[in-house]
Amino acid sequence: MNWLIFALVTVVSWGFYGILLHGGQIGMADPVNGRYKAFLFVGIAYFLTAVLAPLAMLVISGSDWNFPAKGASLSLLAGIVGALGAFCVLLAFGAKGTPAVVMSIIFAGAPIVNAVVAISQHPPAGGIGAIRWQFFAGILLAAIGGGLVTLYKPPPGATAKAPAAQTVQAAKSDQ
C-alpha cells in the first residue's frame, strides 16, 4: 500500500499547488510580470526537486547511466506537458481566474483526459462495450463535481483592513 501513501501525498501537494502559486504571483507585487517571476521560482524548485534529488538517488543506488531514447524522449515530453500545464495555471490566474475555480476545473478535468487517453492507448479486451457503466458514471460525476465546485464555491470572506491611523502609527514605530 506504499503507492497509496505516495498518491495521497501527491493529492495534498497538488491541492496546495494552485493556492501557493497564486500567493507567490501576488506576493511578487508586480501586476504585469508577477506570474512570470513566480513561475521562475517554480522552475528553480523543479530543478532542486526533479533534477538534484533523482541525480542523488541514481548515484546512491549505483545506477548505470544508460538512458534509452524512448524513455528519455517520453519523459522529456511529460516534463514539457507538465510545465506547460503549470504555466497555463498562472496564465489562468492572470486572466482573473481564482485558485478555487481554476484548480477545481483542472483537478476534475485531468482525470477525465487521463482516462480517455489511457483507454485509447490500451483499449479493453472486447472493445468499448466491455467497459462497465460505473466507469462512465465516474467520468460524468467528475465533470459534474468540477462544475459544481466551480459554480457554487463559497464567496471569500471580507479581508480586515487596518484603519489608516493604525497603519501610519505602525510605520512610525518601525523607524
Q: Which region, left, alpha or beta, applies to residue 64 given φ > 0 means left and ψ of -120 to 50 means alpha?
A: beta
- pLDDT tens, 59-103? 999 999 999 999 999 999 999 999 999 999 989 988 988 888 889
The overall pTM is greater than 0.95: no
Cα 156 from chain centroid (whole Å) = 21
